[in-house]
Structure 1
Amino acid sequence: MQIEILVGLIGFSGAVVGAGGALLGGWLQQRHQVAVAQEQQEAARAGLLEERGRAAGEKALSELYALRRHLKDCELRPVPEERQPWRGIARGFIDEAELAVMLMPNAAEVQSRITDAAGLITETLVIGREEARQMTDREHVQHVHRCLVGTLEAIGALSAFMRGDPLPEPGRLLSRYIAQNPRIARSS
């Protein structure tokens, strides 16, 4: 073979190898850029999810503290006029808190605990109007106290969760309620 043809073939081979290397490098760079973009999207999504979860947790805590203040105002009879009917108002606060907690991602344990505390509270709140009228002052105070205990249980569990601490053990009253009202799938 003539030297010019051999040099031409070597040059052509070099060009093919160079072009292949450039294509391979471009492809690898594009794959890397796509992977980095996906990681950034996932990080942004996780940040947004965490932000939404925190906002939902703060809303739930706000509702629970409002419930606690409301119950404190209703401890003694007669219940102030602006707090009537106090049970309906309390039910609204606990429903809003429970709803906000259910919107929190990766929070199954605290959601279960809040559901239990909400059950304790609402079980106490759901009585007939006539039964409520016939309650003695002592029974009324016991009902309000039971609601307050459930509220404080919920506040303690949610606060610990939001700080990143382990959830505290349920108190005596909530433990008794949980034992009497078992659910099929309990996380706590």
Structure 2
Amino acid sequence: MEAETLAGLFGFGGAVVGAGGALLGGWLQQRHQAKVTREQQEAARADLLEERGRAAGEKALSELYALRRYLQDCKTRPVPEERQPWRVKTRAFIDEAELAVMLMPNAREVQARIGEAADLIIDTLTIGREEARQMTDQEHITHVHRCLGGTRDAIAALSAFMRGDPLPKPGRHLRMYIEETARIVARVRAGESPEV
């Protein structure tokens, strides 16, 4: 083979190898850039979720603290006119707090605890209008204290969660409510009447 042909073939081979290398380098660079972009998007999504969760937690805490202040003012009997109807207003506060907590991502444990506290409060509030009118002062105070107990438990659990601490044990009112609910569920599952 002539030197010129050989030089041409080497040149062509070099061009093919160079073009292949450029294509491979471009492909690898594009792949790396796509990976970096995906990681940045995932980090941004995680930051957004954390920010939304924090905002939802702060809203829930705000509602719970407002509920606690409100219930403190409802201890007196008769309940002051500006606090009437206290059961309806209490239900609205706890519903708003529970809704905000349910919007928090990666918060199943605290959501369950707030749900239990909300159930305690709602069950305490659920009585007939006539029954509510006939309540003694002591029964009224007991109902308000049970609602306050559930509210304090919810505040303690949510505050601990937002600080990154383990959830505290349920308080007396919530613990008794959880145990009673478990007994009722066991009776129903056993085919017995849920009434004691």
TM-score, length-scaled by structure 2: 0.91
Shift of 1:173: 2.0
2:27 aligns to what?
27
Shift of 1:157: 0.1
1:16 aligns to what?
16
2:103 aligns to what?
103
Instruction: Give the residue type in structure 1 aligned to 2:177.
Output: Y
User: Helix, strand or coil for the counterpart of 1:75?
Assistant: coil
Shift of 1:3: 1.2
Distance 2:178 2:18 in 1: 72
In structure 1, runs of 5+ residues without a counterpart are none
Distance 2:150 2:129 in 1: 22
Please show how residues 123-162 of structure 1 align to structure 2 within 5 Å.
123-162=123-162
Distance 2:21 2:176 in 1: 71
User: Helix, strand or coil for the counterpart of 1:77?
Assistant: coil
Distance 1:153 1:25 in 2: 59
TM-score, length-scaled by structure 1: 0.95
2:91 aligns to what?
91
1:179 aligns to what?
179
Distance 1:14 1:176 in 2: 82
Distance 1:9 1:95 in 2: 80
1:3 aligns to what?
3
Instruction: Give the residue type in structure 1 aligned to 2:162.
Output: M
Instruction: Give the residue type in structure 1 aligned to 2:62.
Output: S
Shift of 1:78: 1.5
Count of residue correspondences: 184
Distance 1:66 1:173 in 2: 20
User: Helix, strand or coil for the counterpart of 1:17?
Assistant: helix
Shift of 1:74: 0.3
User: Helix, strand or coil for the counterpart of 2:68?
Assistant: helix
| CA deviation profile, 1:82-115 (whole Å, cap 9, x unmatched) | 1100000000000000000000000000000000
Distance 1:160 1:124 in 2: 25
Distance 1:95 1:162 in 2: 20
Please show how residues 41-120 of structure 1 align to structure 2 within 5 Å.
41-120=41-120
Distance 1:132 1:58 in 2: 33
Distance 2:179 2:24 in 1: 64
In structure 2, runs of 5+ residues without a counterpart are 187-196
Distance 1:124 1:172 in 2: 15
Instruction: Give the residue type in structure 1 aligned to 2:123.
Output: E
Instruction: Give the residue type in structure 2 aligned to 1:80.
Output: P
2:190 aligns to what?
none
| CA deviation profile, 1:58-93 (whole Å, cap 9, x unmatched) | 010010001001100100112111110000000000
Instruction: Give the residue type in structure 1 aligned to 2:67.
Output: L
Instruction: Give the residue type in structure 1 aligned to 2:112.
Output: S
1:40 aligns to what?
40
Shift of 1:172: 2.3
Extract structure 1 runs of 4+ deviating beyond 3 A. none
